[in-house]
Structure 1
Amino acid sequence: MLNKHTQGFHPQTWSQAIAQLETQSVPYVLVTILGTAGSTPREQGTKMVVTAEDIFDTVGGGHLEFRIVEQARAQLIEGQSAQDLQHFPLGASLGQCCGGSVSVLFECFVPERLPVDVYGAGHVGQALISLLAGLPVRVRWIDARAELFPPTLPANVQTIVEPQPEDAVADAQPGTATVVLTHNHQLDFAIVEKALRQGASAFLGVIGSDTKAKRFRMRLAHKGFTDEQIANLTCPIGLSEVPGKRPMEVAISIAGQLIQQYQNELPNAQREGLQWRELRGVLQADEPTLVEVNHD
């Protein structure tokens, strides 16, 4: 079944689906019929959205749509944002009697959102969350004090009320940026210790002073952590080039460090995607052949 979660097709249009999927950071493929020739199920410009488990809208049904969904899901398995342009003759090979052909653009969108775990809902945590709302990150905001969380949250933020916040480390995604901003030094250390043992953090930063950082590193060494593991700890957290002790100043410094983190992971932009010659070649396959007729 093309839709695994529901019977039949979803009621959302392709544009409504994209809005929902972007909010949820779900990878998807936007399918667009770029060109048609002869008799085809749908006209040029028709769109549909395909995820690993669902489809939204339709480009005409039948075996053509089955092949398109199959191709879109193959792109999703690649796990990278990309574009692909393919030509489908609607003949015996697709089991459709239309007799025309379509050129289809597949645009795969894989959200590149850094997972960020923020421990602590105090003044700096509140200020930091307001900044992270506008960045390509997915945030788990963790604290034992439910009353500190605001009633409304950015779409990319999930709150977790955990009596023992350090226990949330077990559910951290690989490659997480762990930001420790709690009100308690012992709790900070417990989170750091668990995060280093689990090894899921691509970045581990703790708010504090140089003195706190020295004490933490000594305690970690006494607990048997290697120099290489201890070197993964960033304390004090934040960019040294951004001074200031106000909550928003500290939050801006931390946000800048997180921006550096995900920017460093982006590939260097080279010549990528469909080039004009390739694009023109596929589109020309849909152009009708012009035949001169002699009226004499």
Structure 2
Amino acid sequence: MKHWLNELREELQQHDKVVLVTVALIRGSTPREAGAHMIVSDHGFKGTIGGGNLEFKAIDQARDLLSDGDNATLYQDYPLGPALGQCCGGVASLLFETVKATDPWVQQASEGMVTVSSLSGEQTRQVYNSALENVENLLPAKVRVVAGNISEPTELMEEEGYFLERVEDSRIPLYLYGAGHVAHALVSMLVNLPFKVTWIDNRSNIFGTDCPSDVDTKVVENQEDMAYAAPNGAFHLVMTHDHGIDLEITHAVLAENRFGYIGVIGSDTKRARFERRLNARGIDRVVLEKLNSPIGIPEITGKQPGEVALSVAAEMTILYQQIAEEMNETINEADGTVSRMPKQGE
């Protein structure tokens, strides 16, 4: 799944201008969270703010804005009940911003920075940076304080007329080792899920010409070296063409013991053999219990590459959602609120 900023930059290579639709605030039950994005051009759209009538109305509104001028902006509430026929019942506040490739913030924004949007469209979105005097002069003092200390991904300052958003990549790093039939089927699914995929093999020209552009491919002689370089909490899926290579990668991941998940393709027999060999190499039994093998959900039993890939993708989705739910529960406990994210289109 591409980061919305990368999607925006790609769309602006094809179109003179587009409309960036952002969920700025949610109240009650809504199909997407604050910070969800959709990019609308004259002939199409990328991303989603939840589907259903909300999305259809937003696309129509965005297309109208495209003809209203280069800096057209709109901030509007959308009740999802009787007005739109969606049973969520909540309210989504959407920010529509006309964006051109020449707008400075499009190229200036990067991971960790904060962007500031004017709800009235008095100026284009800005990248907050205390070192940039021109931006300092554009923003009220109260907005600058919040921008410099923002702790949440988004912050709506409705009374002041500004929407603040931290540029961050919330995808989980996922390292996929091996480029065989299952991996080829799997990678096309993973790119549509909340994972930042690094695809690794020791053979050149193995990834194919149709490899998704958002996947980082690595040809590495000793694939276990990538395990040592992976960030804390990364997911690791091991499915190379060689059991010996699988063992070396698995040993490296377990020895580091910094992973969020590790799964190795194979049978119960392969797992038992790996456990004996890894234990003999000094991997503690407690750590070995974190090894997932066979991988995938048990309800999908087919052995075709596409079936195995679907099973694994389902397991990855379940794990990601568990992490997201735990994070939401932590946030809700901190601020005393309770929220629910219904399925798209509800």
TM-score by length of 2: 0.59
1:143/1:162 contact within 8 Å kept:
yes
* 1:268 is the counterpart of 2:328: yes
> What amino acid maps onto 1:207 in structure 2?
I
CA distance in 1, matches of 2:116, 2:227: 38
CA distance in 2, matches of 1:245, 1:255: 14
> What amino acid maps onto 2:230 in structure 1?
A
* Paired position in structure 2 for 1:180: 238
Q: 1:272 to 1:15 in 2, by over 3 A?
A: farther
1:179/1:205 contact within 8 Å kept:
yes
User: How far did residue 63 of structure 1 move?
Assistant: 2.7
The farther-off stretch of 135-144 and 150-159 is 150-159
Deviation string for 1:14-52 (max 9, x for gaps)? 78559x86xxxx3453422235xxxxxxxx453314277
SS in 2 for 1:182: coil
> What amino acid maps onto 1:32 in structure 2?
S
Gapped regions of structure 2 (runs ≥ 5): 1-99, 338-346
Deviation string for 1:81-129 (max 9, x for gaps)? 2324176xxxxxxxxxxxxxx5322133533201100000010111111
CA distance in 1, matches of 2:218, 2:130: 27
| 1:159-238 pair list within 5 angstroms | 159-238=217-296
SS in 2 for 1:250: helix
Q: 1:158 to 1:54 in 2, by over 3 A?
A: farther
Deviation string for 1:143-197 (max 9, x for gaps)? 0111111224324310010011111111101111100010111110000001011
> What amino acid maps onto 1:255 in structure 2?
A
* 1:63 is the counterpart of 2:122: no
* Paired position in structure 1 for 2:103: 13
> What amino acid maps onto 1:261 in structure 2?
L
| 1:32-51 pair list within 5 angstroms | 32-34=117-119, 44=121, 46-50=123-127
1:50/1:69 contact within 8 Å kept:
no
SS in 1 for 2:237: strand
* 1:153 is the counterpart of 2:225: no
Deviation string for 1:234-288 (max 9, x for gaps)? 0111111111101111111111111112111112365999x9xxxxxxxxxxxxx
Q: 1:194 to 1:54 in 2, by over 3 A?
A: farther
SS in 2 for 1:148: coil
TM-score by length of 1: 0.68
> What amino acid maps onto 1:72 in structure 2?
A
* 1:139 is the counterpart of 2:197: yes
Say which of 103, 110, 118 aligns to 2:176. 118
2:130/2:136 contact within 8 Å kept:
no
CA distance in 2, matches of 1:149, 1:184: 17
CA distance in 1, matches of 2:228, 2:119: 46
CA distance in 2, matches of 1:66, 1:189: 57
Q: 1:14 to 1:245 in 2, by over 3 A?
A: farther
CA distance in 1, matches of 2:131, 2:202: 36
Bigger Rg, which one = 1
SS in 2 for 1:31: strand
2:136/2:144 contact within 8 Å kept:
no
The farther-off stretch of 253-262 and 151-160 is 151-160
2:105/2:127 contact within 8 Å kept:
no
CA distance in 1, matches of 2:183, 2:131: 36
CA distance in 2, matches of 1:204, 1:147: 26
SS in 1 for 2:303: coil
The farther-off stretch of 204-213 and 216-225 is 216-225
Say which of 116, 121, 130 aligns to 1:31. 116
> What amino acid maps onto 2:103 in structure 1?
T
CA distance in 1, matches of 2:122, 2:267: 58
Gapped regions of structure 1 (runs ≥ 5): 1-9, 36-43, 88-101, 276-296
Identity %: 31
> What amino acid maps onto 1:33 in structure 2?
S
* 1:72 is the counterpart of 2:72: no
